[in-house]
Every structure is written in structure tokens, then in C-alpha cells.
């Protein structure tokens, strides 16, 4: 019964996203496509963050750094490809199949270092240290004068994929949708795997796991890196969507936004954060049209969900169990 409801909700959600471009063609507002595209991109980051917060109890308050790093890798390569001087002797490329994996690799390496240092701690210390690292990345991006400093970097054009024309807004939208579906499926696979079982056990009872012969650190680090790569992918897509990257992508407020989205959608549910993203971004759009102080409304909504919403939107829909 619950399983059927879940499947129905997934199919309905998917159908809604698929239907957006035709609906816009049929006379809907063109702004709708942009809104839906932003939801898809943020949802990839939200699902990634849920992997470590919801399943691993690693409350990263610095995940925007990977969003920023993913975006800036695309931006910086593009800057050198179109116009700028070569980057360390490399004249750059606009091929997505090279730039995107490169961006994800950058995120993975930084996450490996940051994770190795921060995962010595847990709880509040972990929150603060991830925040500190994200702030470091933020200020490095601000200080990169050749890449625009505070103002950020414009991209000449989107990256190129063979056979798929990313310049078309609808094509790009469907690519983002496909990547969100694929990434969520991968995360679901991980969560339900042996690795996922151990990761969740570490969240629930570290002492039990340790006394079964499990060393917590490698599992947490691996999950942290996977999560960072997913968030980096969102950053890559954002850079291509907006054709513009700014240090704000790595700002602490962005990290907070991702966390708020995950809480709103439901920790440890993977699908919840997607719904959370849709609600958050739609609310933001509606409220900010009404008043620039839209956080006055959004704040209390989040507080109420955190206090009373059992596991957020997904908890309401599918009940309490994490699976």
C-alpha cells in the first residue's frame, strides 16, 4: 500500500517534470521552464546532501563549496577556452565530456582532503569545520581577480555534448531531468547496498558498529566524497544553465539553503529532498514576487516543518521508515 503510494508519487512527479516543456509550448509562461530547471539542478544537490546528513548523520554546513567548485571549474575552463590565455599550457576545451568529469574530479579531490580533516570530528564541531572550509573556498573565489572576483564570471556559451544540443533550453532541461533521475537512482542503490547498511548503522549506533569490526572513517569519507561529487554536478549544471558563476554559489547562505531544503523534504528519504526543492524554490519565487523580505515567511515555515513535520514532506507521505 505504502509502496504503491510511493511508486505512484514518483511517477506523478516525473510526469509533471516531463510535462513542463510541452506545457510551456502550449502557451504557458516561459519563466516556468527556468523555474523547473532550477528545481532540477538544486534537487541533485539536495539528494546528494541527504545522502550524508540523512543516512550518515554528517551535517555538512559547507556543501555549497562543492556547488561553487563544480561551477567555477566549468567557468574557469571556459574563460581560458574563449579568449583568455592558456591555463597551465592547456588551451582549454568546450567539450562537456572532458570539462564535466574534470569538475567532478576537482570536487572529489577537495572532498577527500576536507573530509579527511573534518571527519575526525562529529556533531557541532563537524558543522563548524565544514562551514570554515566552505568559507575558505568562498574567499578564495572572491579573491580570484582574473576570474571576476566578487562579480563572478560570464560563460561565453554552454559546454558541448555530442548529439545533444545543450544550447536549446528544452534539451538542456531534459538533460538535467535525466541526470537527476540517474543520480537519485545511484544514491538509492548506494543507500540500500551493503555500504549503505553500514553507513546507516554508523548513524544509529557507532559503538555497535565498531564492536562488530567496522572502522567508521573510511565509510564516512567515501559517503562524503560521493555526496560532494553529486553537489559538484549540480554546480556544473548551474554554471551551464545560468552561463554565469559567482562566489555566492559557495556562500554559507547557499549551504544553509541546501540544508533547509533537505529538512523541508525529509531527512534520509532521497525523494523527499526533491519535493523539498520544488516547494522551496516555488515558495521563494512566489514570496519574493510579493515582498523582498520573503524569508520572513519562509523562516517560520521551515521552523514548523523542523519541529512538527515528521521527516518533512516525504515523512508525511510515506510514513516514518527510512528506506
Partner 1 sequence: MTDALLQNAATPVLAIEGLRKSFGALVATDNVSLEVGPGELHALIGPNGAGKSTLITQICGEIRPNAGRILFEGRDVTALRAPARARLGLGRTFQITQLCPDFTAIENVLLSIEARHGGSFDMLSNPRRNAAHLELARNWLDQVGLAAQGDRTVAQLAHGERRQLEIAVALARQPKLLLLDEPMAGMGAEESMSLTRLLQSLKRRYAILLVEHDMDAVFALADRISVLVYGRVVFTGTVEEVREHPEVRAAYLGEDRPC
Binding site for partner 1 (CB under 8 A): 189-190, 192-198, 200-201, 204-205, 207-215, 218-219, 222, 321-322
Which cell numbers hold the place of 176?
538535467
Q: Which is nearer to partner 1, 215 or 293 (CB)?
A: 215
Q: How far is the CB of 61 from partner 1 (least distance, A)?
A: 24
- C-alpha 182/C-alpha 180 separation (Å) is 5
We find the least distance from the C-beta atom of residue 54 to partner 1, in angstroms, to be 11
Provide, rounded to whole angstroms, the least separation between the CB of residue 187 and partner 1.
Answer: 10
Answer whether 255's CB lies under 8 Å from 304's CB: no
Question: Of 28 and 216, which has the nearer Cβ to partner 1?
Answer: 216
C-alpha cell at 268: 534520509
Q: Taking the complex as a whole, how short is the minimal distance between the CB of residue 36 and partner 1, in angstroms?
A: 30
Residue 103's SS3 state is helix
Q: Is the dihedral of CA 126, 310, 45, 302 positive or negative?
A: negative
Shortest reach from residue 194's CB to partner 1, in Å: 4
Residue number with CB closer to partner 1 (143 or 193):
193
Least distance from partner 1 to the Cβ atom of residue 42, Å: 25
87 beta partners: 90
Question: Minimum CB separation from partner 1 for residue 136, in Å?
Answer: 30
**Max Cα distance, the chain (Å):** 62
Give the C-alpha separation, 237 to 240, whole Å. 5
List CB contacts of 90: < 8 A, sequence separation 6 or more. 80
Which residue lies nearer to partner 1 by CB, 7 or 204?
A: 204
Least separation in angstroms between CB 234 and partner 1: 21
CA distance 22 to 11: 17
Please identify, using beta-carbon distances, which residue of 70 and 196 lies nearer to partner 1.
196
Nearest alpha-carbon partner for 15 in 184, 185, 177, 188: 177
CB nearer to partner 1: give 29 or 193: 193
Q: What are phi and psi of 256, to 5 degrees?
A: -65, -40
Return the number of the residue (287 or 317) whose C-beta is nearest partner 1.
317
| Cα separation, 101 vs 98, whole angstroms | 6
DSSP 24-72: HHTT--THHHHHHHHHHHHHHHHHHHHHHHHHH----S-THHHHHHHHH
Q: Which is nearer to partner 1, 154 or 214 (CB)?
A: 214
Amino acid at each position: 500500500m505504502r509502496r504503491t503510494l510511493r511508486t505512484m508519487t514518483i511517477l506523478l512527479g516525473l510526469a509533471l517534470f516531463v510535462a513542463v516543456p510541452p506545457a510551456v509550448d502550449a502557451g504557458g509562461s516561459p519563466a516556468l521552464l527556468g523555474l523547473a530547471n532550477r528545481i532540477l539542478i538544486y534537487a541533485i544537490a539536495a539528494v546528494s546532501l541527504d545522502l550524508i546528513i540523512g543516512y550518515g548523520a554528517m551535517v555538512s554546513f559547507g556543501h555549497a563549496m562543492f556547488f561553487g567548485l563544480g561551477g567555477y571549474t566549468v567557468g574557469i575552463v571556459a574563460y581560458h577556452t574563449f579568449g583568455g590565455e592558456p591555463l597551465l599550457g592547456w588551451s582549454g576545451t568546450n567539450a562537456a565530456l572532458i570539462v564535466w568529469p574534470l569538475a567532478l574530479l576537482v570536487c572529489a579531490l577537495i572532498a577527500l582532503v576536507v573530509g579527511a580533516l573534518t571527519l575526525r570530528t562529529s556533531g557541532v564541531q563537524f558543522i563548524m569545520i565544514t562551514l570554515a572550509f566552505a568559507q575558505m573556498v568562498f574567499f578564495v573565489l572572491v579573491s580570484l581577480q582574473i576570474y571576476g572576483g566578487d562579480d563572478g564570471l560570464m560563460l561565453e556559451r554552454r559546454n558541448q555534448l555530442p548529439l545533444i544540443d545543450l544550447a536549446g533550453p528544452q534539451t538542456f532541461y531534459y538533460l538535467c531531468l535525466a541526470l537527476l533521475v540517474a543520480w537519485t537512482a545511484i544514491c538509492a542503490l548506494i543507500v540500500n547496498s551493503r555500504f549503505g547498511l553500514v553507513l546507516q548503522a554508523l548513524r544509529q549506533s557507532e559503538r555497535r558498529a565498531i564492536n562488530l569490526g567496522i572502522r567508521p572513517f573510511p565509510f564516512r569519507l567515501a559517503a562524503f566524497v560521493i555526496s560532494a561529487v553529486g553537489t559538484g554536478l549540480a554546480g556544473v549544471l548551474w554554471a551551464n544553465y545560468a552561463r554565469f558563476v559567482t562566489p555566492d554559489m559557495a556562500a554559507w547562505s547557499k549551504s544553509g539553503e541546501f540544508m533547509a531544503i533537505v529538512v523541508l523534504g525529509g531527512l534520509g528519504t532521497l525523494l523527499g529532498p526533491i519535493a523539498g526543492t520544488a516547494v522551496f524554490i516555488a515558495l521563494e519565487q512566489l514570496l519574493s514576487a510579493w515582498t523582498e523580505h520573503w524569508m520572513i515567511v519562509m523562516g517560520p515555515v521551515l521552523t514548523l516543518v523542523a519541529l512538527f513535520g515528521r521527516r518533512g514532506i516525504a515523512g508525511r507521505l510515506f510514513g516514518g521508515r527510512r528506506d
